[in-house]
Structure 1
Amino acid sequence: MPTVDISPYVTGEGDRAAAATAFDAACREVGFVQVTGHGMADDVVEGLTTAMDEFFALDLGTKLAYRTPPEINRGYSPPRSESLSLSLGVGPAGGNDYFEAFNVGAARSTYGRDDLPADHYAENVWPAEVRGFEARVWTYFTEARRVARTLTRVAADALGLPEGFFDAYLDHSVDVLRMNDYALPPGTVDAGGGPLTGMGAHTDYGIVTVLWADRVPGLQVLGGDGAWHDVQPAEGALLVNLGDLTGRWTNDRWLSTLHRVVPPVVDGTIRRRRSAAFFCDGDVDAVVTTLPQCVGADHPDRYGPVTVGEHLAAKLAGSRAGVPNPNAGRETERLMAGRP
């Protein structure tokens, strides 16, 4: 797992060109990278994790009161209600992923715009049973958004684009923070005849993902050798991976890497693991087209234009609504070629 110090972009001191070059190499070779020098304070992360712990410790009935319809990417998702691999058109029609989650995101009110689509910019639901939940989570959300925006500046330099190139796509970005918990009550784990997955194999959907994860094993990345490799963050580092839209922009010069979570199972129970993924997905009406410098005679354009909203709708219909995505194409081929 490559490590890149992005502090020159945070503090204004240091070698930005070296950081951009290192980021480019990581995005070409792996698509996942650890970032240090991100400037996120420890107490911000602690506020997030304590808020997560307090919410997920609530009884199931209380948590279910915060469940929203599948097309609204907000609120609570109980275990086995989703199949992330369906976002690639692969897997069972019913939910089979053993994780629970709570989602918050940038809403219409965040941008002060009533004309944005209500599904992608839904208002958040906040659990009243957890004191200070909204404040702690939104503080982290704001900091993760800052890190994501910083990474788009690094990306622009790494790709030789004009400074601020991605800003035009981030005026009212569909930004979502998903807090994940992989704990299950003691007892026998029953996968219902299907494979046991903490979170099924998938790519992320948007521009860039900023991931906080505790240091419990489970996260795996599909390498170029067709094998799944364990990934664990260093102390204090954030994991960053690219989404499908960046893969489209760069014509796969940069990788939208397949990843999954395989929870450690001991005596029939899953060891607890937590993570929080901030997805920076771009403006819902923005059109993503391949960058000209990423197309050549030996590397023809693999993708047609797509709006952020169209792409997200197809992906979310798979993972949350149980409708296999028929348009995954290359990602599905990569998944099926991978070794067990």
Structure 2
Amino acid sequence: MTIDTKSPVPHYAPAAPTQENLTYADLGIVDLAKASTAEGLAELATTARDALHNIGFFYIINHGLSRPETERMFDIADVPFSQVPDQEKSEYRAKIIEAGSYQGYKPRQFWHINGGVKDQIETYNINRNVAKKQHPEALRPYLPEIGDFARHNHGILHTILRLLAIGLELPEDTFVNQHKWESASETYVRFMKYYPRTAEDEEKAQQVWLKGHTDIGSITILWSQPVSALQILSPDGQWKWLRHVDNALVVNAGDCMEFLSGGFYKATIHRVIQPPVDQRGHTRLGIIYFGSPDENVKLLPASESSVLERVGICRRFEDKDAPTVGSYRTGRTASYGTVTLKQSEEKDIEVEVVSGVVVKHYN
């Protein structure tokens, strides 16, 4: 990512990494330095395939941004929260329920978490085309950098999609062609800030900050940060922590990728809980790139895959009932954390139906 002009930005100081002995998930590592050769690409495709088939998450290293560049992006990520007054934030509030879109601000206490407790999470979401909408005044000097950052992430997204297509023995650009930069989609950069809660709310919510869920889109790229709070539901049914890896990315599959891959790549359930004792009282600042297919793509499995011919397709709905990305995305966005969920027969699981698809939420 090339940045020609840099405006001064206040520094965001995160908490130091935890020293507590946590049970971490064992995730594969995709080293993009190997992606320049056919042999390296084949090796990475195997790693990515196995990771998303068996667990649903993996790390990426050597992604093209230096540590100072990444740290500057975290400084910029804090601007919409710490440098914009509340009155101006309200002017850029996202039309989440009205339009099923996260573009703009999601305020704190918008989602219901558990036990009558609402979230303490503030997000600011920017379409990958940063000129698509207006932004708060304090953020405007950094829009060129954010635009470069979005393009850089989209390049990483395309590399991941190529690896996943190779893993299914499909033409390399199969998924890339469904995620064009210029097409209409809700692929965007999210800046996300978690604020500490009261002890009373922690008890009521059972320390859950964001209940167990799968992501809506195809591929999520999370820029690793030091405050431990993210957990995944591992194949053995246990919640395991995600280890912070300095200047690395954490990648996971979402619902759309699970549908497009016929269930081969799993949208893994993950949640955010109260950090370890030595990190409590600190805010948790995150940067995420949410990849989503083009809005008009039908969520049909890639049945031409020879891998799926061998292992079979795991269906959540019949092909004739497959929703488009747009209808599924808007439905899930508008309902998340705002509708009353039904208790499932499975323990600690609540469900809703979105575009004919049963969506599970885990407490």
How much is the aligned-residue C-alpha RMSD, in angstroms?
3.0
Query: Per-residue CA shift, 1:239-279, capped at 9, x if unaligned?
Result: 00001011112222211001111122769964221211111
1:165 aligns with 2:174: yes
What is the aligned counterpart of 1:303 among 314, 317, 329? 317
The alignment-based identity, stated in percent, is 23
Partner of 2:72: 47
Please report how far the alpha carbon of residue 125 of structure 1 lies from its aligned counterpart in structure 2 after TM superposition. Answer: 3.2
Output the amino acid matched with 2:176.
D
Q: Is the 8 A contact 1:3 1:33 kept in 2?
A: yes
Please report how far the alpha carbon of residue 7 of structure 1 lies from its aligned counterpart in structure 2 after TM superposition. Answer: 2.5
1:101 aligns with 2:101: no
What is the aligned counterpart of 1:250 among 261, 264, 270? 261
Q: Partners in 2 of 1:321 and 1:295 — Cα distance?
A: 39
Partner of 1:224: 235
1:140 aligns with 2:149: yes
Q: Is the 8 A contact 1:75 1:125 kept in 2?
A: no
1:234 aligns with 2:242: no
Count of residues paired in the alignment: 313
Distance change (3 Å), C-alpha of 1:228 and 1:329: farther
Distance change (3 Å), C-alpha of 1:41 and 1:323: farther
Query: Per-residue CA shift, 1:150-180, capped at 9, x if unaligned?
Result: 1111111111101211132123143111111
Q: Is the 8 A contact 1:6 1:37 kept in 2?
A: yes
Q: Partners in 2 of 1:103 and 1:320 — Cα distance?
A: 17
Deviates more, 1:39-48 or 1:272-281: 39-48
* Structure 1, unpaired ranges of 5+: 86-90, 111-122
Distance change (3 Å), C-alpha of 1:248 and 1:189: same
Partner of 1:288: 299
Distance change (3 Å), C-alpha of 1:166 and 1:297: closer
Q: Partners in 2 of 1:131 and 1:299 — Cα distance?
A: 46
TM-score normalised to structure 1 length: 0.81
Q: Is the 8 A contact 1:7 1:13 kept in 2?
A: no
1:181 aligns with 2:210: no
Partner of 1:119: none
Aligned pairs for 1:267-278 within 5 A: 270-278=281-289
Partner of 1:28: 53
TM-score normalised to structure 2 length: 0.76
Partner of 2:346: none
Query: Per-residue CA shift, 1:113-159, capped at 9, x if unaligned?
Result: xxxxxxxxxx3331202462322322221211111111111111111
Q: Is the 8 A contact 2:263 2:315 kept in 1?
A: no
